[in-house]
Amino acid sequence: MEEQKMDAKTSLKGRSFLTLKDFTPEEIGYFLDLAAKLKADKKKGITGNSLKGKNIALLFEKPSTRTRCSFTIGCVDEGAHPEYLGKDDIQLGHKESVEDTARVLGRMFDGIEFRGFLHENVEKLAKYSGVPVWNGLTDDYHPTQILADFLTLREQFGEIKGLNFVFAGDGRNNMSNSLMIGCSKMGLNFTCLAPKSLWPNEELVKQCEEYAKESGAKIRFTEDVKEAVEGADCIYTDVWASMGEEDKAAERIALLRPYQVNKEMLEMTGKDTTVVMHCLPAVKGHEITEDVFEHYADVIFDEAENRMHTIKAVMVATLGEY
């Protein structure tokens, strides 16, 4: 086991973090172990110098609370300098190509975080910059959130392998995609509860089914609420219309109303140990009722805090000396 951890630690140096598809279960487990250690240290008032002397570019096309704060605090805690670059601060993909911006930033910075729309842009940054690039969210994937979710589940249940995990909502969005990848890699049974028109694309499903063969996970898709949540250890939801999809809000509300996480849904689990999670921000009264949100608020805000610890772990593991 220790040898596997050392192999994972060594294999992560200098790598970008774009999607969990790129990482083995052992490497994902190492991120989680390191995050738990860094979290415990921070609670004791201990910070580090693993990123001392490093300069980190934080590129944001989309606004953010948790992602921006997590990268900023993670940098400062470990001795790095974070430089925030919003959509009006640089010419990314407008007056200057993404490739050229990447080559400029790679000469000035030691690592780059990107939060934006097109996944191909974060891939170009990684290809052309020559430094580790971390995906803070794209339209397709949100991998740092999954690490925070899994750390939270470990804190709740001790072990995550074998848990019954249900995602309720838009099954095609970046959260559902990334959760399905993460669960299938790490051995959690993943259920997508959504109308069939909002199930994930077939190519990604096939990839995840291959991961599941290795981990022992089960993947299923259903429109039936009771069938989905019976025996669930975790029910997870997200906003019904993501950033950039505001024009579809009315259509999504009508389509997804039957999949709202509410008291009735929780009663269908048949368990009193089920937890509810949300990546935030939440539109209470839509994807989740206020009473359910508040009942599970401690878990949801542990999950939000864990963005900071897991993002710090990603930077330390790929760029730092630890």
The pLDDT value given to residue 111: 98
Which of 16-30, 79-93, 148-162, 282-296 bottoms out in mean pLDDT, i.e. has the lowest?
A: 79-93
User: Which token pair is 214?
Assistant: 């290795």
The set of residues, in sequence order, having a beta carbon less than 8 Å from that of 166 and lying 6+ positions away, is 191, 193, 228, 229, 232, 234, 235, 236
One CATH from 3.40.50.1370, 3.40.250.10, 3.10.20.600, 3.50.50.60 for 2-141+306-319: 3.40.50.1370
Whether 88 is catalytic is no
- Residue 121 CA: distances (Å) to CA of 44, 124, 135: 38, 5, 10
Which of 33-37, 92-96, 189-193, 259-263 bottoms out in mean pLDDT, i.e. has the lowest?
A: 92-96
Averaged confidence pLDDT in the chain: 96
| Catalytic residue chosen out of the listed positions 145, 192, 208, 309 | 145
Give DSSP secondary structure letters for 118-169.
-HHHHHHHHHHH-S-EEEEE-SS--HHHHHHHHHHHHHHHS--TT-EEEEES
The pLDDT tens digits of the residues spanning 299-318 come to 999 999 999 999 999 999 99
| Catalytic residue chosen out of the listed positions 238, 260, 278, 309 | 238
Is the pLDDT confidence value at 193 over 80?
Answer: yes
Q: Which residues are annotated as a binding site for L-ornithine?
A: 174, 238, 242-243
SS3 assignment, position 308:
helix
Mean pLDDT of 221-240: 98
Torsion of CA 242, 239, 136, 217, to 10 degrees: -120
The pLDDT value given to residue 91: 76
Torsion of CA 19, 36, 242, 93, to 10 degrees: -50
Q: Where are the domains of the chain?
A: 2-141+306-319, 146-303
Is the pLDDT confidence value at 2 over 80?
Answer: no
- The answer to whether 2-141+306-319 and 146-303 have equal CATH topology is yes
Q: Where are the beta strands (DSSP E) in 15-156?
A: 55-60, 81-86, 111-115, 133-137
The pLDDT value given to residue 95: 83
The pLDDT value given to residue 243: 65
The pLDDT tens digits of the residues spanning 46-67 come to 999 999 999 999 999 999 999 9
Q: 137 - beta bridge partners? A: 115
Whether 15 is catalytic is no
Whether 81 is catalytic is no
Mean pLDDT of 235-261: 88
| Catalytic residue chosen out of the listed positions 15, 68, 115, 154 | 115
Residue 281 preceded by cis peptide, ω within 30 = yes
Question: Can you tell me the distance from the alpha carbon of 33 to that of 41, in angstroms, rounded to the nearest whole number?
Answer: 12
The pLDDT value given to residue 207: 98
Whether 41 is catalytic is no
Mean pLDDT of 222-243: 94
Is the pLDDT confidence value at 162 over 70?
Answer: yes
Q: Which residues are annotated as a binding site for carbamoyl phosphate?
A: 64-67, 91, 115, 142-145, 279-280, 307
The set of residues, in sequence order, having a beta carbon less than 8 Å from that of 89 and lying 6+ positions away, is none
For β-strands 81-86 and 111-115, DSSP reports them as unpaired
Question: Can you tell me the distance from the alpha carbon of 2 to that of 13, in angstroms, rounded to the nearest whole number?
Answer: 18
The pLDDT value given to residue 234: 99
Mean pLDDT of 72-85: 98
Question: Can you tell me the distance from the alpha carbon of 271 to that of 229, in angstroms, rounded to the nearest whole number?
Answer: 10
Mean pLDDT of 138-153: 98
One CATH from 1.20.1260.10, 3.40.30.10, 3.60.20.10, 3.40.50.1370 for 146-303: 3.40.50.1370
CB atoms within 10 A of CB 44: 7
- Single-letter residue type at 151: L
**Whole-prediction pTM:** 0.96
User: Which token pair is 57?
Assistant: 């570019």
The pLDDT value given to residue 242: 73
Which of 82-91, 171-180, 255-264 bottoms out in mean pLDDT, i.e. has the lowest?
A: 82-91
The pLDDT value given to residue 1: 63
| Catalytic residue chosen out of the listed positions 110, 170, 279, 286 | 279
CB-based contact 54:80 (threshold 8 Å): yes
Whether 307 is catalytic is yes
Whether 4 is catalytic is no
